[in-house]
Structure 1
Protein backbone atom coordinates (compact mmCIF):
# COMPACT_ATOMS: atom_id res chain seq x y z
CA UNK A 1 0.00 0.00 0.00
CA UNK A 2 1.30 3.44 -0.91
CA UNK A 3 2.18 5.31 2.32
CA UNK A 4 0.03 8.34 1.43
CA UNK A 5 -3.07 6.33 0.50
CA UNK A 6 -5.88 7.21 2.84
CA UNK A 7 -4.06 10.28 4.22
CA UNK A 8 -5.84 13.62 3.73
CA UNK A 9 -3.03 15.73 5.23
CA UNK A 10 0.23 15.15 7.08
CA UNK A 11 3.12 16.98 8.69
CA UNK A 12 6.65 15.60 9.00
CA UNK A 13 9.16 17.03 11.50
CA UNK A 14 7.22 20.30 11.40
CA UNK A 15 8.83 23.14 13.34
CA UNK A 16 7.82 26.76 13.79
CA UNK A 17 10.17 29.21 15.52
CA UNK A 18 9.42 32.84 16.32
CA UNK A 19 12.16 35.38 16.98
CA UNK A 20 15.83 34.70 17.64
CA UNK A 21 18.39 34.85 20.42
CA UNK A 22 16.87 35.52 23.83
CA UNK A 23 13.40 36.13 22.38
CA UNK A 24 13.40 32.84 20.43
CA UNK A 25 10.20 30.84 20.95
CA UNK A 26 9.73 27.32 19.59
CA UNK A 27 5.98 27.07 18.90
CA UNK A 28 6.23 23.67 17.17
CA UNK A 29 9.06 21.22 17.76
CA UNK A 30 9.39 18.54 15.04
CA UNK A 31 5.73 17.48 14.96
CA UNK A 32 4.88 14.52 12.71
CA UNK A 33 1.21 13.64 12.37
CA UNK A 34 -1.11 12.21 9.72
CA UNK A 35 -4.82 12.99 9.38
CA UNK A 36 -6.60 10.04 7.79
CA UNK A 37 -9.40 10.42 5.26
CA UNK A 38 -12.90 10.13 6.69
CA UNK A 39 -11.72 10.68 10.27
CA UNK A 40 -12.57 13.36 12.84
CA UNK A 41 -9.48 14.44 14.82
CA UNK A 42 -9.42 16.86 17.74
CA UNK A 43 -6.18 18.66 18.68
CA UNK A 44 -5.87 19.56 22.36
CA UNK A 45 -3.27 20.84 24.77
CA UNK A 46 -2.66 23.45 27.45
CA UNK A 47 -2.67 27.13 26.51
CA UNK A 48 0.46 27.90 24.50
CA UNK A 49 1.04 24.25 23.56
CA UNK A 50 1.10 25.03 19.83
CA UNK A 51 -2.26 23.53 18.83
CA UNK A 52 -3.51 26.54 16.82
CA UNK A 53 -0.06 27.00 15.27
CA UNK A 54 -0.11 23.35 14.16
CA UNK A 55 -3.51 23.78 12.56
CA UNK A 56 -2.61 27.05 10.83
CA UNK A 57 0.60 25.55 9.41
CA UNK A 58 -1.14 22.31 8.34
CA UNK A 59 -3.88 24.35 6.63
CA UNK A 60 -1.45 26.56 4.72
CA UNK A 61 -2.51 29.68 6.64
CA UNK A 62 0.88 30.16 8.28
CA UNK A 63 4.45 29.57 7.16
CA UNK A 64 6.70 27.11 9.00
CA UNK A 65 10.40 27.09 9.79
CA UNK A 66 11.34 23.53 8.79
CA UNK A 67 9.86 20.14 8.03
CA UNK A 68 7.03 19.52 5.59
CA UNK A 69 3.25 19.80 5.24
CA UNK A 70 1.28 17.82 2.68
CA UNK A 71 -2.34 18.03 1.60
CA UNK A 72 -2.80 14.64 -0.06
CA UNK A 73 0.47 14.31 -1.98
CA UNK A 74 0.91 18.08 -2.52
CA UNK A 75 3.88 19.52 -0.62
CA UNK A 76 2.82 22.99 0.58
CA UNK A 77 6.38 24.20 1.13
CA UNK A 78 7.13 23.94 -2.62
CA UNK A 79 4.19 26.11 -3.73
CA UNK A 80 4.24 29.80 -4.61
CA UNK A 81 1.60 32.16 -3.19
CA UNK A 82 -0.78 31.72 -6.12
CA UNK A 83 -0.57 27.91 -5.98
CA UNK A 84 -1.01 27.94 -2.20
CA UNK A 85 -4.10 30.15 -2.52
CA UNK A 86 -5.53 27.70 -5.05
CA UNK A 87 -4.94 24.69 -2.76
CA UNK A 88 -6.59 26.50 0.14
CA UNK A 89 -9.55 27.46 -2.04
CA UNK A 90 -10.09 24.09 -3.76
CA UNK A 91 -8.97 21.48 -1.24
CA UNK A 92 -9.29 22.94 2.25
CA UNK A 93 -12.36 24.06 4.19
CA UNK A 94 -12.22 26.36 7.22
CA UNK A 95 -14.54 26.93 10.17
CA UNK A 96 -13.55 29.67 12.60
CA UNK A 97 -14.72 30.61 16.09
CA UNK A 98 -16.04 33.89 14.68
CA UNK A 99 -18.43 32.68 12.02
CA UNK A 100 -16.97 35.03 9.35
CA UNK A 101 -20.24 35.30 7.42
CA UNK A 102 -20.99 38.28 5.19
CA UNK A 103 -23.95 40.12 6.78
CA UNK A 104 -25.46 41.35 3.51
CA UNK A 105 -25.69 37.85 1.98
CA UNK A 106 -28.38 35.25 2.64
CA UNK A 107 -27.49 31.92 4.22
CA UNK A 108 -27.52 30.28 0.78
CA UNK A 109 -25.28 32.99 -0.71
CA UNK A 110 -22.85 32.63 2.22
CA UNK A 111 -22.78 28.84 1.77
CA UNK A 112 -22.04 29.03 -1.95
CA UNK A 113 -19.60 31.97 -1.67
CA UNK A 114 -16.40 29.88 -2.11
CA UNK A 115 -17.80 28.50 -5.37
CA UNK A 116 -18.94 31.95 -6.52
CA UNK A 117 -15.43 33.33 -5.93
CA UNK A 118 -13.96 30.40 -7.86
CA UNK A 119 -16.42 30.97 -10.73
CA UNK A 120 -18.08 27.58 -10.21
CA UNK A 121 -21.73 26.65 -9.87
CA UNK A 122 -22.83 24.45 -6.96
CA UNK A 123 -23.87 20.90 -7.83
CA UNK A 124 -27.55 20.89 -6.91
CA UNK A 125 -27.52 17.38 -5.45
CA UNK A 126 -24.47 18.04 -3.28
CA UNK A 127 -25.82 21.42 -2.13
CA UNK A 128 -29.12 19.79 -1.11
CA UNK A 129 -27.24 17.06 0.76
CA UNK A 130 -25.01 19.52 2.62
CA UNK A 131 -27.94 21.80 3.50
CA UNK A 132 -30.01 18.89 4.82
CA UNK A 133 -27.02 17.45 6.74
CA UNK A 134 -26.65 20.74 8.62
CA UNK A 135 -30.42 21.20 8.94
CA UNK A 136 -30.74 24.57 7.20
CA UNK A 137 -33.35 23.89 4.52
CA UNK A 138 -35.84 26.35 6.10
CA UNK A 139 -33.28 29.12 6.65
CA UNK A 140 -31.63 29.61 3.27
CA UNK A 141 -33.22 33.00 2.56
CA UNK A 142 -32.27 34.47 5.96
CA UNK A 143 -29.34 36.84 6.48
CA UNK A 144 -26.88 36.14 9.34
CA UNK A 145 -28.52 38.81 11.55
CA UNK A 146 -31.78 36.84 11.41
CA UNK A 147 -30.11 33.61 12.55
CA UNK A 148 -29.06 32.38 15.99
CA UNK A 149 -25.37 31.81 16.74
CA UNK A 150 -25.79 28.07 16.27
CA UNK A 151 -27.52 28.57 12.93
CA UNK A 152 -24.80 30.98 11.79
CA UNK A 153 -22.13 28.44 12.62
CA UNK A 154 -24.09 25.76 10.74
CA UNK A 155 -24.02 28.08 7.70
CA UNK A 156 -20.23 28.29 8.19
CA UNK A 157 -20.02 24.46 8.36
CA UNK A 158 -22.06 24.15 5.16
CA UNK A 159 -19.83 26.76 3.48
CA UNK A 160 -16.77 24.70 4.44
CA UNK A 161 -18.35 21.53 3.02
CA UNK A 162 -19.71 22.94 -0.24
CA UNK A 163 -16.52 22.73 -2.31
CA UNK A 164 -15.97 19.08 -1.22
CA UNK A 165 -12.57 19.86 0.30
CA UNK A 166 -10.04 17.14 1.01
CA UNK A 167 -10.00 18.30 4.63
CA UNK A 168 -11.81 20.76 6.89
CA UNK A 169 -9.98 22.59 9.68
CA UNK A 170 -11.96 24.06 12.56
CA UNK A 171 -10.39 26.49 15.05
CA UNK A 172 -12.48 26.31 18.25
CA UNK A 173 -15.61 26.13 16.03
CA UNK A 174 -17.99 26.00 19.01
CA UNK A 175 -16.08 28.52 21.16
CA UNK A 176 -18.74 31.24 20.76
CA UNK A 177 -21.76 28.97 21.17
CA UNK A 178 -23.80 27.87 24.17
CA UNK A 179 -23.64 24.16 24.97
CA UNK A 180 -26.81 23.23 23.09
CA UNK A 181 -25.86 25.06 19.90
CA UNK A 182 -22.31 23.73 20.24
CA UNK A 183 -23.61 20.16 20.49
CA UNK A 184 -25.68 20.70 17.33
CA UNK A 185 -22.70 21.97 15.34
CA UNK A 186 -20.44 19.14 16.60
CA UNK A 187 -23.17 16.67 15.68
CA UNK A 188 -23.22 18.06 12.15
CA UNK A 189 -19.44 17.80 11.87
CA UNK A 190 -19.69 14.22 13.12
CA UNK A 191 -22.42 13.51 10.52
CA UNK A 192 -20.33 15.05 7.74
CA UNK A 193 -17.56 12.56 8.58
CA UNK A 194 -19.91 9.58 8.91
CA UNK A 195 -22.34 10.32 6.07
CA UNK A 196 -20.37 12.47 3.62
CA UNK A 197 -16.93 10.90 4.14
CA UNK A 198 -15.48 14.27 5.15
CA UNK A 199 -12.15 14.63 6.97
CA UNK A 200 -12.28 17.06 9.90
CA UNK A 201 -9.49 18.39 12.14
CA UNK A 202 -10.57 20.60 15.03
CA UNK A 203 -8.61 22.55 17.62
CA UNK A 204 -10.51 22.70 20.91
CA UNK A 205 -9.96 23.17 24.63
CA UNK A 206 -13.32 21.57 25.46
CA UNK A 207 -13.28 17.87 26.50
CA UNK A 208 -16.99 17.58 25.59
CA UNK A 209 -16.26 18.79 22.04
CA UNK A 210 -13.30 16.40 21.80
CA UNK A 211 -15.64 13.55 22.75
CA UNK A 212 -17.26 13.83 19.30
CA UNK A 213 -13.97 13.02 17.55
CA UNK A 214 -12.64 9.62 16.44
CA UNK A 215 -9.30 10.43 18.01
CA UNK A 216 -7.69 13.18 20.06
CA UNK A 217 -4.04 14.20 19.79
CA UNK A 218 -2.42 16.11 22.64
CA UNK A 219 0.29 18.74 22.35
CA UNK A 220 2.48 20.19 25.11
CA UNK A 221 5.35 22.65 24.66
CA UNK A 222 5.11 22.39 20.87
CA UNK A 223 5.45 18.61 20.84
CA UNK A 224 3.01 15.77 20.21
CA UNK A 225 2.85 13.96 23.55
CA UNK A 226 -0.15 11.64 23.42
CA UNK A 227 -3.01 10.28 21.35
CA UNK A 228 -6.39 8.76 22.27
CA UNK A 229 -8.89 6.86 20.14
CA UNK A 230 -12.60 6.50 21.00
CA UNK A 231 -12.37 9.45 23.40
CA UNK A 232 -14.93 10.26 26.08
CA UNK A 233 -15.13 13.69 27.76
CA UNK A 234 -14.06 12.17 31.11
CA UNK A 235 -10.99 10.44 29.68
CA UNK A 236 -10.01 13.58 27.77
CA UNK A 237 -10.44 15.74 30.89
CA UNK A 238 -8.23 13.39 32.94
CA UNK A 239 -5.52 13.50 30.27
CA UNK A 240 -5.71 17.30 30.05
CA UNK A 241 -5.39 17.64 33.85
CA UNK A 242 -2.26 15.48 33.73
CA UNK A 243 -0.80 17.67 30.95
CA UNK A 244 -1.67 20.88 32.81
CA UNK A 245 0.04 19.57 35.93
CA UNK A 246 3.08 18.58 33.89
CA UNK A 247 3.32 21.98 32.16
CA UNK A 248 3.13 23.78 35.52
CA UNK A 249 5.82 21.65 37.12
CA UNK A 250 8.21 21.60 34.17
Structure 2
Protein backbone atom coordinates (compact mmCIF):
# COMPACT_ATOMS: atom_id res chain seq x y z
CA UNK A 1 0.00 0.00 0.00
CA UNK A 2 1.51 3.26 -1.05
CA UNK A 3 2.26 5.76 1.66
CA UNK A 4 -0.35 8.53 1.44
CA UNK A 5 0.20 10.06 4.83
CA UNK A 6 0.11 13.59 3.40
CA UNK A 7 -3.60 13.13 2.65
CA UNK A 8 -5.90 13.79 5.61
CA UNK A 9 -6.67 10.38 7.02
CA UNK A 10 -10.36 11.04 7.52
CA UNK A 11 -10.80 11.89 3.81
CA UNK A 12 -8.79 9.18 2.13
CA UNK A 13 -9.48 6.43 4.66
CA UNK A 14 -12.99 6.83 6.04
CA UNK A 15 -12.67 3.62 8.05
CA UNK A 16 -10.25 5.42 10.37
CA UNK A 17 -13.13 7.43 11.76
CA UNK A 18 -15.20 4.25 12.00
CA UNK A 19 -12.61 2.70 14.30
CA UNK A 20 -11.54 5.49 16.65
CA UNK A 21 -8.79 5.00 19.17
CA UNK A 22 -9.91 3.35 22.35
CA UNK A 23 -8.42 4.39 25.63
CA UNK A 24 -6.46 1.31 26.61
CA UNK A 25 -5.77 0.33 30.20
CA UNK A 26 -2.56 1.54 31.75
CA UNK A 27 0.32 -0.86 31.06
CA UNK A 28 0.79 -1.06 34.82
CA UNK A 29 -2.61 -2.74 35.15
CA UNK A 30 -2.70 -4.72 31.89
CA UNK A 31 -1.29 -8.22 31.53
CA UNK A 32 1.60 -8.71 29.13
CA UNK A 33 0.92 -10.92 26.11
CA UNK A 34 4.55 -11.00 24.96
CA UNK A 35 7.79 -9.53 26.22
CA UNK A 36 11.33 -9.22 24.88
CA UNK A 37 14.14 -8.48 27.35
CA UNK A 38 17.64 -7.48 26.27
CA UNK A 39 16.91 -9.24 22.96
CA UNK A 40 19.81 -9.51 20.52
CA UNK A 41 20.09 -10.98 17.05
CA UNK A 42 23.45 -11.17 15.28
CA UNK A 43 24.15 -12.47 11.78
CA UNK A 44 27.59 -13.57 10.65
CA UNK A 45 31.00 -13.12 12.27
CA UNK A 46 34.07 -10.97 11.82
CA UNK A 47 33.84 -8.50 8.96
CA UNK A 48 30.43 -9.84 7.94
CA UNK A 49 28.94 -9.50 11.44
CA UNK A 50 25.63 -7.62 11.45
CA UNK A 51 23.74 -6.71 14.61
CA UNK A 52 20.07 -6.78 13.66
CA UNK A 53 18.79 -6.35 17.22
CA UNK A 54 20.85 -4.70 19.92
CA UNK A 55 19.53 -5.50 23.44
CA UNK A 56 15.91 -4.60 22.73
CA UNK A 57 13.43 -4.63 25.62
CA UNK A 58 9.73 -4.18 24.88
CA UNK A 59 6.38 -5.46 26.17
CA UNK A 60 3.18 -5.99 24.20
CA UNK A 61 0.12 -5.74 26.44
CA UNK A 62 -3.10 -7.69 26.12
CA UNK A 63 -5.87 -5.92 24.25
CA UNK A 64 -3.47 -3.46 22.64
CA UNK A 65 -2.64 -2.74 18.99
CA UNK A 66 1.06 -1.96 18.53
CA UNK A 67 2.74 -0.89 15.30
CA UNK A 68 6.49 -1.39 14.86
CA UNK A 69 8.13 1.12 12.52
CA UNK A 70 11.58 2.07 11.34
CA UNK A 71 13.67 2.49 8.21
CA UNK A 72 14.74 -0.48 6.11
CA UNK A 73 17.30 -2.50 8.02
CA UNK A 74 16.26 -1.10 11.40
CA UNK A 75 15.34 -4.54 12.77
CA UNK A 76 11.55 -4.21 12.90
CA UNK A 77 10.73 -7.45 11.06
CA UNK A 78 13.52 -9.28 12.90
CA UNK A 79 12.04 -8.17 16.21
CA UNK A 80 8.59 -9.42 15.27
CA UNK A 81 9.90 -12.73 13.92
CA UNK A 82 11.91 -13.39 17.10
CA UNK A 83 9.03 -12.52 19.43
CA UNK A 84 6.66 -14.65 17.33
CA UNK A 85 8.96 -17.66 17.50
CA UNK A 86 9.61 -17.62 13.76
CA UNK A 87 13.33 -16.91 14.16
CA UNK A 88 15.95 -17.74 16.76
CA UNK A 89 17.77 -15.02 18.68
CA UNK A 90 21.37 -14.64 19.82
CA UNK A 91 20.83 -13.36 23.34
CA UNK A 92 18.27 -12.12 25.79
CA UNK A 93 14.81 -13.45 26.50
CA UNK A 94 11.41 -13.74 24.82
CA UNK A 95 8.34 -14.69 26.83
CA UNK A 96 4.94 -15.39 25.37
CA UNK A 97 2.22 -15.62 27.98
CA UNK A 98 4.84 -16.49 30.59
CA UNK A 99 6.53 -19.16 28.44
CA UNK A 100 10.22 -18.62 27.71
CA UNK A 101 10.74 -19.40 24.02
CA UNK A 102 14.44 -20.22 24.29
CA UNK A 103 13.63 -23.21 26.51
CA UNK A 104 11.30 -24.83 23.99
CA UNK A 105 12.27 -27.65 21.67
CA UNK A 106 11.24 -27.47 18.01
CA UNK A 107 8.03 -29.47 18.49
CA UNK A 108 7.05 -27.40 21.52
CA UNK A 109 7.70 -24.18 19.62
CA UNK A 110 5.63 -25.40 16.68
CA UNK A 111 2.75 -26.24 19.02
CA UNK A 112 2.99 -22.84 20.71
CA UNK A 113 2.86 -21.00 17.38
CA UNK A 114 -0.11 -23.11 16.31
CA UNK A 115 -2.08 -22.73 19.53
CA UNK A 116 -1.13 -19.29 20.85
CA UNK A 117 -0.27 -17.13 17.84
CA UNK A 118 -2.05 -15.87 14.74
CA UNK A 119 -0.20 -14.59 11.67
CA UNK A 120 -1.20 -12.18 8.90
CA UNK A 121 1.46 -11.57 6.29
CA UNK A 122 1.80 -9.47 3.15
CA UNK A 123 1.39 -12.63 1.06
CA UNK A 124 -2.04 -14.07 1.76
CA UNK A 125 -0.72 -17.66 2.05
CA UNK A 126 -4.04 -19.30 1.20
CA UNK A 127 -4.30 -22.82 -0.22
CA UNK A 128 -5.82 -22.51 -3.72
CA UNK A 129 -7.70 -25.83 -3.56
CA UNK A 130 -9.60 -24.93 -0.38
CA UNK A 131 -12.64 -22.73 0.03
CA UNK A 132 -12.50 -19.55 2.09
CA UNK A 133 -14.07 -21.33 5.04
CA UNK A 134 -11.67 -24.27 4.75
CA UNK A 135 -8.72 -21.88 4.65
CA UNK A 136 -10.02 -20.11 7.76
CA UNK A 137 -10.34 -23.31 9.78
CA UNK A 138 -7.22 -25.01 8.36
CA UNK A 139 -4.92 -24.39 11.38
CA UNK A 140 -7.60 -25.76 13.70
CA UNK A 141 -8.17 -28.76 11.44
CA UNK A 142 -4.43 -29.54 11.42
CA UNK A 143 -4.37 -29.31 15.21
CA UNK A 144 -7.36 -31.64 15.45
CA UNK A 145 -9.46 -28.97 17.14
CA UNK A 146 -13.02 -27.98 16.37
CA UNK A 147 -13.65 -24.24 16.03
CA UNK A 148 -15.86 -22.56 18.58
CA UNK A 149 -18.97 -22.03 16.47
CA UNK A 150 -20.10 -18.74 17.96
CA UNK A 151 -16.60 -17.28 17.90
CA UNK A 152 -16.00 -18.37 14.31
CA UNK A 153 -19.30 -16.87 13.19
CA UNK A 154 -18.46 -13.63 14.97
CA UNK A 155 -15.06 -13.40 13.29
CA UNK A 156 -16.49 -14.20 9.84
CA UNK A 157 -19.19 -11.59 10.34
CA UNK A 158 -16.66 -8.99 11.48
CA UNK A 159 -14.61 -9.35 8.29
CA UNK A 160 -17.70 -9.50 6.10
CA UNK A 161 -17.17 -12.91 4.50
CA UNK A 162 -20.58 -14.50 5.08
CA UNK A 163 -21.41 -14.61 1.38
CA UNK A 164 -17.96 -15.75 0.19
CA UNK A 165 -17.20 -18.79 2.32
CA UNK A 166 -17.63 -21.31 -0.51
CA UNK A 167 -15.38 -19.39 -2.90
CA UNK A 168 -11.79 -20.43 -3.58
CA UNK A 169 -8.96 -17.86 -3.48
CA UNK A 170 -8.93 -17.41 -7.26
CA UNK A 171 -12.57 -16.32 -7.03
CA UNK A 172 -11.77 -13.63 -4.46
CA UNK A 173 -10.21 -10.18 -4.80
CA UNK A 174 -6.92 -9.41 -3.06
CA UNK A 175 -8.76 -7.61 -0.30
CA UNK A 176 -11.13 -10.52 0.19
CA UNK A 177 -8.22 -12.98 0.30
CA UNK A 178 -6.59 -10.93 3.03
CA UNK A 179 -9.91 -10.88 4.90
CA UNK A 180 -9.74 -14.67 4.84
CA UNK A 181 -6.19 -14.49 6.19
CA UNK A 182 -7.30 -12.17 9.02
CA UNK A 183 -10.21 -14.48 9.88
CA UNK A 184 -7.84 -17.46 9.85
CA UNK A 185 -5.49 -15.68 12.25
CA UNK A 186 -8.35 -14.92 14.64
CA UNK A 187 -10.29 -18.19 14.35
CA UNK A 188 -8.32 -20.05 17.02
CA UNK A 189 -8.60 -17.17 19.53
CA UNK A 190 -4.82 -16.73 19.74
CA UNK A 191 -3.18 -14.85 22.56
CA UNK A 192 -1.54 -12.53 20.07
CA UNK A 193 -1.74 -11.79 16.33
CA UNK A 194 1.35 -10.71 14.41
CA UNK A 195 1.10 -8.89 11.08
CA UNK A 196 4.09 -8.30 8.80
CA UNK A 197 3.11 -5.57 6.33
CA UNK A 198 -0.39 -7.13 6.11
CA UNK A 199 -1.65 -4.47 3.67
CA UNK A 200 1.48 -4.29 1.51
CA UNK A 201 -0.12 -6.04 -1.50
CA UNK A 202 -3.44 -4.19 -1.31
CA UNK A 203 -4.84 -1.00 -2.74
CA UNK A 204 -5.52 1.79 -0.26
CA UNK A 205 -9.22 1.04 0.24
CA UNK A 206 -8.73 -2.70 0.73
CA UNK A 207 -5.81 -1.94 3.04
CA UNK A 208 -8.00 0.39 5.09
CA UNK A 209 -10.61 -2.36 5.44
CA UNK A 210 -8.02 -4.87 6.72
CA UNK A 211 -6.61 -2.36 9.19
CA UNK A 212 -10.14 -1.60 10.32
CA UNK A 213 -10.76 -5.30 10.96
CA UNK A 214 -7.56 -5.56 13.01
CA UNK A 215 -8.56 -2.44 14.94
CA UNK A 216 -12.02 -3.89 15.54
CA UNK A 217 -10.55 -7.20 16.74
CA UNK A 218 -8.74 -5.28 19.46
CA UNK A 219 -11.72 -3.15 20.43
CA UNK A 220 -14.51 -5.72 20.18
CA UNK A 221 -12.74 -9.06 20.68
CA UNK A 222 -10.00 -8.00 23.11
CA UNK A 223 -7.33 -9.26 20.71
CA UNK A 224 -3.65 -8.31 20.99
CA UNK A 225 -2.14 -7.22 17.67
CA UNK A 226 1.47 -6.42 16.78
CA UNK A 227 2.04 -5.14 13.25
CA UNK A 228 5.19 -4.23 11.35
CA UNK A 229 4.55 -1.47 8.82
CA UNK A 230 6.37 1.23 6.88
CA UNK A 231 3.20 3.27 6.35
CA UNK A 232 2.25 6.15 8.69
CA UNK A 233 -1.41 5.79 7.69
CA UNK A 234 -1.42 2.14 8.73
CA UNK A 235 0.34 3.00 11.99
CA UNK A 236 -2.42 5.48 12.81
CA UNK A 237 -4.77 2.56 13.47
CA UNK A 238 -2.61 1.40 16.38
CA UNK A 239 -2.78 2.36 20.05
CA UNK A 240 0.94 2.97 20.07
CA UNK A 241 3.93 2.94 17.73
CA UNK A 242 7.37 1.62 18.64
CA UNK A 243 10.19 3.09 16.53
CA UNK A 244 13.40 1.18 15.79
CA UNK A 245 16.70 2.39 14.35
CA UNK A 246 20.01 0.53 14.17
CA UNK A 247 18.44 -2.45 15.94
CA UNK A 248 17.38 -0.40 18.97
CA UNK A 249 14.14 1.14 20.17
CA UNK A 250 14.55 4.89 19.90
CA UNK A 251 11.05 6.19 20.57
CA UNK A 252 7.46 5.29 21.38
CA UNK A 253 4.24 7.13 20.51
CA UNK A 254 0.78 6.64 22.02
CA UNK A 255 -2.41 7.64 20.19
CA UNK A 256 -0.55 8.11 16.90
CA UNK A 257 -1.78 10.05 13.90
CA UNK A 258 -0.44 9.65 10.37
CA UNK A 259 0.95 13.18 10.47
CA UNK A 260 2.80 12.72 13.76
CA UNK A 261 4.23 9.38 12.65
CA UNK A 262 5.36 10.83 9.33
CA UNK A 263 7.07 13.72 11.10
CA UNK A 264 8.91 11.27 13.35
CA UNK A 265 9.98 9.09 10.42
CA UNK A 266 11.44 12.14 8.66
CA UNK A 267 14.00 12.32 11.46
CA UNK A 268 15.67 9.16 10.14
CA UNK A 269 18.28 9.69 7.46
CA UNK A 270 18.68 7.55 4.34
CA UNK A 271 20.86 5.00 6.16
CA UNK A 272 18.17 4.27 8.73
CA UNK A 273 19.87 6.25 11.49
CA UNK A 274 18.36 8.93 13.70
CA UNK A 275 19.38 12.30 12.33
3-state SS, counterpart of residue 251 of structure 2: strand
Aligned with residue 94 of structure 2, among 69, 73, 89 = 69
Provide the aligned length of Structure 1 versus Structure 2: 248
Q: Spell out, residue by residue over 1:125-184, the C-alpha distance to the aligned partner (whole angstroms, 9 max, x if none).
A: 011000011111111011010011000001000000011100000000000000000000
Q: Spell out, residue by residue over 1:181-237, the C-alpha distance to the aligned partner (whole angstroms, 9 max, x if none).
A: 000000000000000000000000000000000000000000000000000000000
| Structure 2 unaligned residues grouped into runs of 5+ | 1-27
Residue 74 of structure 2 is aligned to residue 49 of structure 1: yes
3-state SS, counterpart of residue 266 of structure 2: helix
Q: Is the 8 A contact 1:112 1:162 kept in 2?
A: yes
Using the TM superposition, give the Cα deviation of residue 248 of structure 1 relative to its aligned residue in structure 2, in angstroms.
5.7
Residues of 1 paired with 2:30 and 2:256: CA distance? Answer: 25
Residue 266 of structure 2 is aligned to residue 241 of structure 1: yes
3-state SS, counterpart of residue 156 of structure 1: helix
Would the alpha carbon gap of residues 208 and 5 (structure 1) be closer, same or farther in structure 2, given more than 3 Å must change?
closer
Q: CA RMSD in A?
A: 1.4
Q: In structure 1, what is the equivalent of residue 183 of structure 2?
A: 158
Using the TM superposition, give the Cα deviation of residue 4 of structure 1 relative to its aligned residue in structure 2, in angstroms.
9.8
TM-score normalised by structure 2 residue count: 0.88
Aligned with residue 120 of structure 1, among 145, 150, 156 = 145
> Structure 2 matches for 1:63-102, cutoff 5 A?
63-102=88-127
Using the TM superposition, give the Cα deviation of residue 123 of structure 1 relative to its aligned residue in structure 2, in angstroms.
1.1
TM-score normalised by structure 1 residue count: 0.97
| Structure 1 unaligned residues grouped into runs of 5+ | none
Using the TM superposition, give the Cα deviation of residue 249 of structure 1 relative to its aligned residue in structure 2, in angstroms.
7.7
Q: Is the 8 A contact 2:55 2:248 kept in 1?
A: yes
Q: In structure 1, what is the equivalent of residue 249 of structure 2?
A: 224
Q: In structure 1, what is the equivalent of residue 18 of structure 2?
A: none
Q: Is the 8 A contact 2:268 2:274 kept in 1?
A: no
